[in-house]
Amino acid sequence: MPYRIVLGRPLHPAGAAVLAARPDVETIEMFDPPAPALHAALANADGLVAWLERVDTAALAAAPRLRAVSRIGVGFDTVDIPACTERGIAVMVVNGTNDLSVAEHAMMLMLGVARRAVDSDAHIKQGGWWPKDGPRMVDLAGKSVLVVGYGRIGSRVAAYARAFHMKVMVHDPLYHPARIASDGHIPARDFKKALAEADVVTLHLILSDRSRNTVTAPDLALMKPTSFIVNTSRGPLIEQSALIAALKEGRIAGAGLDVFDIEPMPADHPILAAPNTVLTPHLGYVTEQNYRTYYEVA
């Protein structure tokens, strides 16, 4: 009997070729399956290649043969690690493959909000030219950016921001201030003080019970009305209702988001009606080069 592997989404051709070359492997290809469909597919599965699918107790109960879960990404907040450990199911992520891609995406979102790229694109496609109230764009050079999380991605974003001649503050209690300073950045031990000083806040943390709601309504209230926030990590790092209210009320100037509290995002999600946002569907890591790298590393 061949090994049966469920794919949460179609693989890059490089990855598909690896599996196709194995006569002892059978794949079931899906695309962001709802939980009932995923659970049905897992009934006879030995492995799961997951994207955003939740591997929780319900999924595991439906998968008596499951032996391995591999996430296309570096986070594991969608996987019940204790439950998998109890079952002896191996859980794998692909650390180190998406650092550059996500860091570049964070800078794209930062520039997109600062230069109001989406607004300008929509305006000119509707037959307009210069808006009557002016472009209202800002330069990144000379602005202060607070990088929250100084791991593989956050450290890259800090370096990129410095190359843009920004004043780079870094908040990460896991890194000694001397290490941050040696990289040419300003250690920001006092998170709330740094929030009040920053023109841009960019988040680069894993999602855990400790990091959930890192930015709440009181935190957003500390930020300048001209400042904006970027998140390419996980949606629940920011209190979503508070962010939406701050944007709609003009208490911050904008947001660049690749991640959300609900994914895939429903069509009536209130963030869609918020002003000056650049939104992308959790794809900051899916560049052609990086997507192929997953399989070269594996």
Kindly list the catalytic residues: 234, 263, 282
In 235-286, the DSSP E strands lie at 254-257, 277-279
Q: Phi, psi (5° rounding) for residue 269? A: -60, 130
Helix (H, G, I), strand (E, B) or coil at 271: helix
How far apart are the C-alpha atoms of 158 and 86, rounded to whole Å? 39
HSE-CB at 281 with a 13 A cutoff on CA atoms is 9
